[in-house]
Every structure is written in C-alpha cells, then in structure tokens.
C-alpha cells in the first residue's frame, strides 16, 4: 500500500506540475478520478502551507478546486459519471493553474531573496569602506562628519528587513556619493599637507641659503657662486611643487659641498689677510705714537705743563688703541679655535667682527691727535676737544645700541646684555662733566658688551 501511495503521489505531482491534463473517457473509473483529484488537492495544500502568506488569487483558486473536488466526490457517490468527469477536468485545470502560480511565486521569492542578499552585501561593503576611511581620517587629523553616513546605514538595514528594496537602492547611491566626497576631501587635505610640507622645506633651505650668501659675501667668494645661490633662492620662492623642490634641494646640496671647499680655502686666506693687516696696524700704531710723542716734545719744550698734558693725551690714545688691538687679537684666537672645532658658521661671523674691529682701529689712526696751542686757554680748549670726542663716541655707541634693538628681539641673553650696555651708556653721560676718565672707562665697558652682542647676533 505504501509503495502504491508513493507511486500515486508521484503520478499526481507529474500531472499537476506538468503541462499534461489527463484525458477522461467513458471507460474512466470514477473512483480513480476521485483518488487522483483528492491527492492533487492534498499535495497543493501541503505546498501552500510552506508559504508565510498565500496571495489572495491563489487562495481563491484553491477554494474553487476544493469545491470541484467535493462535487466530484458527490458525483462519484451518486454514480453520475458525466458530472464526475466534468468536475474532475475542472478541478485538474484549477490545480494546474494553482501550480503555475505557485511556481511563479517561488521564482519571485527566490529573486527577492537573491536581491536582498546582494543589497546586504553592498551595505556591508559600504560600511567597511567607511570604517577604513574613518581610520585614515583619525590618523591624519582630518575633520569629516560620518554621523549622516551611519544614519543612512541604519536606515538601509531597516528598509531591507521590511522589503523596501527600492529605497535601499536609492540610499546606497547616496552613501556612494558620500564616500566619493570623503575620498576627495582626504585627497585634497593630503595634497594641501604635501604642499605645506614642500613650502616649509623650501623655507628651511631659503634660510640656510641666505646665511650661505651672507657668508660668501663676507669671505669674498666668487660672485658666480653667490649668483648661483641667489638663483636657487629665487626658484625656491617661486616653486610649490614638491618634486621640483626636492630636485632643487639635490642640486643645492651639490652646490653647498662645492661652496664648503671654497669656503674653507677662503677662510684661511681671510685669516692670513686680517692677521697681516693687524700686524701692520700694530706696527703703525707704535710708529705713529712714537712720532707724535717726539713732535709734541719739540712743540712743548718751553711749556712743561703742556708737555705733561700732551704726554697724557698720547698715553690715553695709546691705551685705547692697545685695548682695541688686544680685542682684535682675542677674536683672531677664537677664530682659530672654531676652525679646529669645525664650527665654520661661527668663524664667518667672527671674521666679520674682526674685520669691523680692524676698520675701527684704522679709523682711529686716521684721526689727528689734538695738539695744545700756547696761551692761557690751552687746558680749557684741550678739555673741550676731549669732551667733544667722548660725546661723539657716546653718540656712535647709542646709535649702535638702537640698531641692535630689533636684531636681538627674542634672544634673552642678548636682550639682557643690551640693557646693561644702555645702562652703562647713561652712566657715561652722567660722568662726562665730572670725570672724563671715568666716562672713557665706562664707554670701554659698553664697547666690550656690544662686541659680545655682535657675536651673538652674527652666530644666530
């Protein structure tokens, strides 16, 4: 019986789910027709029970098929063969139509399931892309608000669960635009940072090149070399392209190597030049002071007081020049120490200072020593001349202090030295009327402090 039931079910299913409608004839067994129709009805009922919700159209067709099957059973009971055959044929047509619609419905549900899976995959992919972007944003300290994107993800998942696939597709397009904009923003920020880094890199090189140019001018390096560095500075100012700046930096590196060799050679030449000049100056100082001493002795032979004062003037002048020469020698010693320590930057600044000191000594040598004329007014005139010279010196030092004000701004050590120098200069002004000697000594202290400031400024 079980084998027969399975065979019958297979037969019914093949009839219902194929395009074949069984033909009935006068020889058809009514009981067999009832059995076939009943099995077909039951199989469709099982099939329909597998759906969460059966469409109204299929339910209506199924109800009609049930009515036809019941009418078939009644006709068989009453042995109404024609009616039985008619009800059987109608029932089987209904079963066939139901079967076709079930097949279409299954196909639609399969398609919807596939669509849902695909949309869910797209949502997951968009969320993963956003996750990677968030990490990049956090790493690069960029501001992009993902709150709107996160809300769209939640909305899509809700619509997906409700079967609103069209709305999901629409929102997916919006998330795609959001991610594209985020990528563009990151790219723009990255390019801007790259440009900023290039500019900082260029500015750094420009600062170094300006120092090199100053050093080259101070050392008397070939003008062709200086022009090359000036051209490099101009190109760096005009360029904002990273690749171009890097290319320029490589060329500058080669130029700096060549300059260093020229610089070292020129430093040694400059040292010899300044040292020779300093030796000559010291010889000139001694010779000049000796000659002036003899001249004054001859001029003031009848006047012992005048001679004593003249000798004092020569002594003061000699001491002043001696101190300046010692200062220059001290700078020269520091230059040699810096060369030994390979601190060429300090060497250039000190050579500039040394050259300035030597020029100062030469200027002093160019001044005529004041002679005292005969007569009663000689001491007063001599004192007036001395005060005038000291006042001129005060004015020069005051101008120098004013020039340093902007140059030392931000350098605490140099600013403190400048305050000391200014305070001593005011003391010298106050001392001038009471004691010119004290004023001169105070001005020497001011001069020494300003020398220290000049070294700091040139080495910064």
DSSP output for 134-153: HHHHHHTT-----HHHHHHH
Long-range contacts of 404-409 (CB under 8 A, 24+ apart): 404/450, 404/453, 404/457, 407/457, 408/453, 408/456, 408/457
* pLDDT at res. 394: 86
- Domain of residue 236 covers 208-258
* pLDDT at res. 160: 81
pLDDT of residue 4 exceeding 50: no
**Residue 254 counted as domain residue:** yes
Q: Give me the DSSP letters along 154-185.
A: HHHHHHHHTT-HHHHHHHHHHHHHHHHHHHHH
Rg (C-alpha) for the chain, rounded Å, is 55
Same-domain status, 56 and 140: no
* pLDDT at res. 19: 45
* pLDDT tens per residue across span 75-127: 899 888 898 889 999 999 998 988 888 777 665 655 666 777 888 888 899 88
CA dist 73 and 84 (Å) reads 8
Question: Residue holding tokens 């001044």?
Answer: 367
pLDDT of residue 25 exceeding 50: no
- Using pLDDT thresholds of 50, 70 and 90, give the confidence band for residue 6: very low
- Using pLDDT thresholds of 50, 70 and 90, give the confidence band for residue 384: low
* pLDDT tens per residue across span 214-223: 777 777 777 8
Q: Which is more confidently placed, 141 or 166?
A: 166
Residue 323's Cβ-side half-sphere holds a number of Cα atoms within 13 Å equal to: 15
* pLDDT at res. 93: 92
pLDDT of residue 257 exceeding 80: no
CA dist 41 and 87 (Å) reads 13
**Residue 344 counted as domain residue:** no
Closest CA to 314 of 285, 293, 283: 293
When divided into structural domains, the chain yields a total of 4
Look at residues 63, 86, 114 and tell me which one is the last residue of a structural domain.
114
* pLDDT tens per residue across span 298-323: 555 555 545 565 556 556 666 777 77
* pLDDT at res. 285: 67
Q: What is the pTM of this model?
A: 0.38
Look at residues 51, 81, 114 and tell me which one is the last residue of a structural domain.
114
**Residue 15 counted as domain residue:** yes
pLDDT mean over 148-175: 87
**Residue 339 counted as domain residue:** no
Same-domain status, 102 and 30: yes
Residue 350's Cβ-side half-sphere holds a number of Cα atoms within 13 Å equal to: 20
CA dist 400 and 418 (Å) reads 10
Same-domain status, 223 and 130: no
What average pLDDT does the chain have?
Answer: 76
- Using pLDDT thresholds of 50, 70 and 90, give the confidence band for residue 378: very low
Q: How far is CA 445 from the centre of its chain?
A: 48
* pLDDT at res. 272: 78
**Residue 64 counted as domain residue:** yes
**Residue 58 counted as domain residue:** yes
- Using pLDDT thresholds of 50, 70 and 90, give the confidence band for residue 244: confident
Q: Which is more confidently placed, 265 or 29?
A: 29
**Residue 40 counted as domain residue:** yes
Range in 132-136, 338-342, 403-407, 434-438 with the lowest mean pLDDT: 338-342
* pLDDT at res. 67: 92
* pLDDT tens per residue across span 425-450: 888 888 877 887 788 888 888 888 88
CA dist 420 and 449 (Å) reads 8
Angle between helices 223-238 and 165-219 (to 10 degrees): 160
């Amino acid at each position: 019986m079980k084998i027969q039931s399975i065979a019958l079910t297979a037969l019914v299913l093949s009839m219902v789910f194929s395009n074949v409608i069984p033909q009935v004839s006068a020889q058809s067994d009514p009981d067999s027709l009832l059995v076939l129709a009943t099995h077909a009805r039951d199989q469709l009922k099982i099939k329909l029970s597998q759906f969460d919700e059966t469409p109204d159209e299929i339910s209506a067709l199924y109800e009609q098929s049930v009515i036809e099957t019941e009418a078939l059973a009644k006709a068989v009971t009453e042995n109404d063969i024609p009616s039985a055959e008619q009800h059987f044929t109608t029932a089987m047509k209904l079963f066939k139509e139901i079967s076709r619609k079930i097949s279409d419905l299954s196909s639609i549900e399969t398609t919807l399931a596939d669509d849902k899976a695909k949309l869910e995959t797209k949502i997951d992919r968009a969320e993963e892309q956003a996750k990677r972007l968030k990490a990049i944003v956090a790493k690069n300290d960029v501001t992009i608000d993902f709150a709107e994107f996160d809300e769209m993800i939640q909305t899509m998942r809700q619509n997906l669960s409700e079967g609103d696939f069209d709305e999901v597709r629409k929102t997916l397009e919006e998330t795609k635009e959001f991610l594209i904009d985020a990528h563009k923003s990151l790219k723009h920020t990255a390019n801007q940072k790259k440009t900023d880094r290039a500019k900082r890199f260029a500015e750094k090189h420009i600062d170094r090149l300006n120092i090199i140019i100053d050093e080259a001018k101070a050392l008397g390096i070939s003008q062709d070399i200086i022009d090359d560095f000036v051209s490099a500075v101009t190109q760096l100012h005009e360029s904002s392209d990273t690749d171009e700046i890097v290319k320029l930096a490589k060329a500058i590196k080669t130029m700096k190597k060549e300059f260093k060799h020229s610089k070292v050679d020129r430093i040694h030449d400059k040292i010899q030049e300044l040292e020779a000049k300093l030796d000559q100056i010291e010889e000139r100082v001694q010779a000049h002071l000796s000659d002036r001493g003899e001249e004054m002795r001859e001029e003031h032979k009848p006047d012992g007081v005048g001679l004593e004062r003249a000798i004092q003037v020569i002594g003061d002048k000699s001491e002043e020049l001696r101190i300046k020469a010692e200062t220059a020698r001290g700078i020269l010693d520091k230059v040699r120490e810096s060369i030994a320590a390979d601190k060429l930057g300090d060497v250039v600044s000190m050579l500039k200072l040394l050259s300035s000191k030597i020029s100062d000594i030469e200027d002093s040598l160019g001044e005529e020593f004041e002679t005292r004329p005969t007569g009663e007014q000689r001491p007063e005139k001599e004192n007036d001349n001395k005060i005038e010279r000291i006042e001129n010196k005060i004015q020069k030092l005051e101008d120098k202090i004013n020039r340093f004000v902007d140059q030392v701004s931000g350098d605490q050590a140099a600013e403190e030295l400048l305050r000391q120098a200014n305070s001593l200069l005011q003391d010298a002004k106050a001392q001038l009327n009471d004691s010119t000697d004290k004023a001169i000594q105070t001005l020497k202290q001011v001069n020494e402090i300003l020398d220290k400031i000049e070294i700091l400024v040139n080495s910064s």
